[in-house]
Amino acid sequence: MGEPYPGLRPTWAEVDLAAVRHNARLLRKLAAPAALCAVVKADAYGHGIVAVARAALEGGAAWLAVALVEEGVELRDAGIGAPVLVLSEPTERAMATVVERGLTPTVYSAGGVAAASAAATAVGTVVAVHVKVDTGMHRVGADAAEVVSIVRAVDAAPRLHFAALWSHLAVADETDAEARAFTDGQLRLLADSRAALAALGLDPPMVHLANSAGAIAFPGARLDMIRCGISLYGVVPTPALAPLLSADPALSVDGAVTGEERELLRPVLSLKSKVSLVRSLDAGERPSYGRRIALEKRSVVATVPIGYADGVPRRYGAAGGTVLIGGRRCPLAGTVTMDQIVVDCGADAEVSVGDEVVLIGRQGRGSLTVQDWADVLGTIGNEVLTEIGSRVPRVLVDNGGSDEEEKR
């Protein structure tokens, strides 16, 4: 049997497509009758955009969403014909590509509407657009006072179709009373915009608002479609929301979570490497740059060929980060370097060159999750996943079947 990694360096990430399909099915069931939009921007949060998009669609997603026009083009080049929403308004230059490749643009300015209209006219087709309203996040989107004029401009353009009104939640992943009140306020502002449009005969065919956190914590935000990113990859947006997901009546019968959903969200990505060198060092030795950490006692120290260029932050060791070797959590023995880490395996550890090292995933009875990393680093799972570098090969696995190197 060959090595599990495709490159010359024994460092790789496994992406479980069966877990993607499972998570899509669960989120679709959670939102029903609302549709599921799988957010696959940033190379599907570092998992591989084409493979994940296909698996999400197989699991029940009706839409895909991207941040960049180039990401939508990559999906089309791969033969994926599902609706693809571009989440930010494309530039005038990019709008022509959006129309030519059959992507769905978001618009929220007069200039965006004009660019979409011109591109649609040039191609000779009708383009469905989604109008985004700013309900309080203040990043992008039309001000509430401008929504009517933007939609009127869309309606007046002969080759544009007003297909949806949408917004984005800012603090749905936070559970304190102030944050919940803010999210409720965003729901009201979106409803007010919809009502103002309906009064003019411009009621949108679709309204969508909920991200992963909103879909879990605010059933009223599910509306016609939910847009799920981090949850699609098996990570609850914040641990405080996990009980809400488990208790959601949409996933249970007679109060019990049903068969396939019993596991709820399944982690999709595992990050692995292998020991490249082993040495014993005396107490007081200080491995790696800066000599920041002194060994408390004589210990076996393993070198592992993965570093901050691969997505292991330089601060991970100092912050208390660990890896799994032999099913045990072992702390880093010094500063993370660009290409390698050193691990304190303990005084009596039996470690050999070639032993598997798990940075994210399971090994024996041990596990390290994306949330574990986020807790150590004081960040969120989204950042942990998207920082895993492109020089780490992704290996596609499917329900324990044969591995397939992703061609990228």
- Let me know if residue 11 belongs to a domain: no
Does residue 217 share a domain with residue 123? Answer: yes
pLDDT at 180 (0 to 100): 97
Does residue 85 share a domain with residue 227? Answer: yes
Does residue 48 share a domain with residue 186? Answer: yes
**Domain-terminating residue out of 220, 253, 286:** 253
Nearest to 328 by CA among 275, 279, 367, 270: 367
Question: Amino acid letter at 295?
Answer: L
Query: Token digits for 113?
Result: 């509407």
Residues sharing a CB contact under 8 Å with residue 299, sequence separation 6 or more, in sequence order = 280, 281, 283, 333, 344, 345, 346, 347, 349
CATH number of the domain that residue 273 is part of: 2.40.37.10
Catalytically annotated residues: 41, 289
Enclosing domain of residue 183: 32-233+240-253
First to last CA, the chain: 24
Residues sharing a CB contact under 8 Å with residue 155, sequence separation 6 or more, in sequence order = 162, 202
pTM higher than 0.85, yes or no?
yes
- Let me know if residue 380 belongs to a domain: yes
Cα–Cα distance, 120 to 128 (Å, whole number): 10
Give burial (CB, 10 Å; 0-12/13-18/19+) of 354. Answer: exposed
Q: How many domains does the chain have?
A: 2
Specify the DSSP element, H or E, that contains 326: none
pLDDT at 3 (0 to 100): 86
Specify the DSSP element, H or E, that contains 395: strand 394-397
**Got the DSSP string for 214-254?**
HHHH-GGG-TTEEEESGGGGT--SSGGGHHHHHH-GGGEET
Rg of the chain taking only CA atoms, in angstroms: 24
Does residue 249 share a domain with residue 288? Answer: no
- Let me know if residue 286 belongs to a domain: yes
Calculate ∠ Cα 50-55-56, nearest 5°.
100
- Let me know if residue 220 belongs to a domain: yes
- Strands 299-304, 341-346: pairing kind: antiparallel
Does residue 228 share a domain with residue 196? Answer: yes
Does residue 378 share a domain with residue 295? Answer: yes
Does residue 247 share a domain with residue 352? Answer: no
Nearest to 328 by CA among 300, 364, 299: 364
CATH number of the domain that residue 167 is part of: 3.20.20.10
Does residue 201 share a domain with residue 90? Answer: yes
pLDDT at 402 (0 to 100): 40
**Domain-terminating residue out of 222, 253, 284:** 253
Does residue 40 share a domain with residue 176? Answer: yes
Instruction: Output the CA–CA distances (angstroms, integers) from residue 77 to 38, 46, 390, 406, in the order listed.
Output: 18, 19, 20, 16
**Got the DSSP string for 123-142?**
HT--EEEEEEB-SS--SSSB
Residues sharing a CB contact under 8 Å with residue 37, sequence separation 6 or more, in sequence order = 61, 62, 63, 64, 65, 85, 208, 225, 226, 227, 228
**Domain-terminating residue out of 196, 222, 253:** 253
Show the low-confidence residues of the chain (pLDDT under 70): 1, 252-263, 399-408
- Let me know if residue 216 belongs to a domain: yes
Query: Token digits for 241?
Result: 């929301």
- Let me know if residue 12 belongs to a domain: no
Does residue 145 share a domain with residue 70? Answer: yes
- Let me know if residue 344 belongs to a domain: yes
Cα–Cα distance, 404 to 63 (Å, whole number): 26
Cα–Cα distance, 140 to 164 (Å, whole number): 16
Could you tell me if 393 and 403 are in contact, meaning their C-beta atoms sit under 8 angstroms apart?
A: no
- Let me know if residue 24 belongs to a domain: no
Does residue 208 share a domain with residue 177? Answer: yes
Does residue 88 share a domain with residue 61? Answer: yes
